[in-house]
Amino acid sequence: MASAFSHAVAALSLGTCFYRPGVSKRVWLAGAVCSVIPDLDVVGFRFGIRYGDFWGHRGFTHSLVFAALFTAVVLFVCFRRGAPGLGRFPLTAYLFLATASHGVLDAMTNGGLGVAFFSPFDNTRYFLPWRPIRVSPLSVGRFFSPQGYLILKSELLWIWLPAVAFAALVLMPRRKQPGATMN
């Protein structure tokens, strides 16, 4: 995995594509939560589930089908009446992309097994051809080690920096539109 904060940063950055003044902050909060949820699969290790299993780390919870199902759950539980200021389709698209972004980032890390994008139909684990992100340890304790510094540096460079640049690219042209407000 990349660390939880970095997944959330990526989700918030994606959110800029859907940003409109007046959209409830709950939408962006939900996107951040969606982007972190797939890693709940690590609890499986405590129950003897192996990394490469269906329920193993980077297995089903990192798949596109899971992203669609989890999006449906979040819509039902948190946004049954929609989100003020954002249509049903963009809201759905955002929550799906935020959840699915998790697997994409994990597939760009340099360690562990790949991501089961097509589970439950195919449990094959995939990496993207380009894997610049140092894999983050599964235990929080090890994150605060000398290794942790290198991981942080790698995530700042390959996730946070592109996320901020992407957000700026999306938001800046809108600022120039006459009458557009960005408060």
**Residue 48 Cβ, how far from Zn ion at the closest point, in Å?**
19
| Chain position whose Cβ is nearest to Zn ion | 1
Q: Which is nearer to Zn ion, 23 or 102 (CB)?
A: 102
Residues that bind Zn ion (CB under 5 A): 1, 39, 106
- Main-chain phi, psi angles of 4, to 5 degrees: -55, -40
User: Are the C-beta atoms of 143 and 151 separated by less than 8 Å?
Assistant: yes
Burial class (CB in 10 A: 0-12, 13-18, 19+), 103: buried
Q: How far is the CB of 58 from Zn ion (least distance, A)?
A: 6
| 39 or 83: CB nearest Zn ion | 39
- Minimum CB distance to Zn ion, residue 130 (Å): 17
Q: Would you say 106 or 155 has its CB closer to Zn ion?
A: 106
- Yes or no: say if 54 and 108 are a contact pair by the CB < 8 Å rule: no
Q: Which is nearer to Zn ion, 15 or 56 (CB)?
A: 56
Q: Which is nearer to Zn ion, 79 or 109 (CB)?
A: 109
Residue type, 51: Y
Provide the minimum distance between the beta carbon of 167 and Zn ion in the complex, in angstroms, as a whole number.
22
Nearest residue to 21 (alpha-carbon basis) of 125, 177, 158, 157? 177
| Contact call for residues 168 and 162 (beta carbons, < 8 A) | no
Shortest distance in whole angstroms from residue 102 CB to Zn ion:
6
- Asked if 153 and 2 count as a contact pair (C-beta separation under 8 A), the reply is no
User: Count of residues for the chain?
Assistant: 183
